[in-house]
Amino acid sequence: MRKSQARRGAVITGHLLLPSAEGARREAEARKAGLPKFARVAFLVVFAYLIVGFALQEIEVLGLTRQVRELEAEAAGLATENARLVEEIKYVQTDTYIEQVAREELGLIWPNEIPYAPGGRTNGDEGTGGGTGASGTGG
Residue ranges of E strands in 1-139: 10-13, 16-19
User: What CA dihedral angle connects 31, 32, 35 and 37, to 10 degrees?
Assistant: -140
Say what the pLDDT of residue 74 is. 98
Write the pLDDT tens digit of every residue in 62-117. Answer: 999 999 999 999 999 999 999 999 999 999 999 999 999 998 888 888 888 887 77
d(CA 109, CA 124): 12
Residue 31 · residue 18 · CB < 8 Å: no
Q: Read off the pLDDT band of 118 (50, 70, 90).
A: confident
Overall pTM > 0.75: no
